[in-house]
Amino acid sequence: MRDASVLVLQAITYFCALSLPFFYRRRIGLGVFICALGVLHFLETYLAAVFFIQTSLGLITPGSTVLFSGKLAMFLLLYVKEDAETVRQPIYGLLFGNVMVIVLALLLRLYDNVAVLPGYNPDFRFVDQMGLLMIWGTLLLFIDIILLIILYEKLERWIAETIVGRFFISLAIVLTLDQLAFFVGLHLLSGVPFSALFAGLVAKLAMAAIYSMLIGLYLAIAEPETAAPSNLRVSDVFDRLTYRHRYENLLQNVGRDGLTGLSNRSQLDIIGRDMIASAKTRGASLSLMMIDVDRFKEINDTHGHAAGDAALRDVSQIIASQKRDFDMAFRYGGDEFAVLCVGDDQAAVRLAERISNAFASISGFTLSIGVASYPHHAADLSTLLDSADKALYAAKRGGRDQICVA
């Protein structure tokens, strides 16, 4: 009974200590909370490997029962109050640190003259054992977190009003599976007997209930506002924990202008060369129009930069709505836009007129547009850009609100 009371006391101490930096994360930064988890990760693994309590059910270790169960509960709390992207940070940090433990321990063997101290000889076998156990535990933690979040979200449709119940069921299922998997590593690396398997499982289920109630109290008292259900799928959680969605977003947004959503100048250089090569192969014409917002500086100075940004977005939306699917639009820079049009300069002029009229009607401002075409005015992209740019400045010198052809 005394041992059980000590385990409960440890769980309460663990939760209260970690919930303090978690509560103040907006002031002191989330790194304090994450570092605390990282430091306790070593003690958790050490105790799970060597420190056991004999009970009537079998062997129980505070490392797995109290510390790991608590860590999993804190990760779920972190997800509820933040998101899956935040949860992945300490997981990857733990994995990296654990790998470094093994690497640095291997390098220690390269020293020739290691001093022998009475009672303090280095035990590299133990260091290796701990490093492997920590890596195995972190890999399991990665899987545990995915499953934990999925279970928590899916349980929302059945017990949406009972957050403590969702926490307990999610933790109980994941801790059961983790106990089975982590025990394999403990048994193989540390020789932990099978009597620790069942007793550890019972103890973890008890801790799931304790931590769920503690989290329920914390959410009710300290942070009662809980995020709305996100309806995440398994693939969604996996994407956010593995950075894959960041990579996919990067692919989608690379070469895009942040304000207008159009392709940027670098894309004009790439796509323009390809379109000219295609026009040359087909013996077709390709036109380039350069578009400039008249007196754009006055718009910013008189109406503010927000009005200037709105004007640029209006131009981009009008271009996108007026051009054909096989024409390509770009924000060239500042208040200049470029459009590559399949066809001769007369087809480009007709498109330019539609764009200019539509912009004037919705914004009250005007555009100057210069047009040049391949192969009539230029034989390559660089010359085409130069010809269209000269036509643009001819339109501006001629009084603005004009369309000039090279």
Listed in sequence order, the DSSP H helices in 323-375 are 345-363
**Amino acid in position 118:** P
| Interstrand relation of 403-405 and 367-374 (parallel, antiparallel or unpaired) | parallel
Between CA 347 and CA 345 the distance in angstroms is 5
3-state secondary structure 105-168: HHHHCCCCCCCCCCCCCCCHHHHHHHHHHHHHHHHHHHHHHHHHHHHHHHCHHHHCCCHHHHHH
**Amino acid in position 283:** G
Between CA 206 and CA 335 the distance in angstroms is 64
What is the enclosing helix (H) or strand (E) of 22? helix 2-23
Between CA 331 and CA 264 the distance in angstroms is 5
Q: Which of 294, 335, 345, 389 is catalytic?
A: 335
CA dihedral 311, 351, 332, 297 (to 10 degrees): -30
Residue 335 appears among annotated catalytic residues: yes
Spatial neighbors of 151 by CB under 8 A, at least 6 apart, are 169, 170, 173, 174
Largest CA distance in the chain: 97
| Residues marked as catalytic | 335
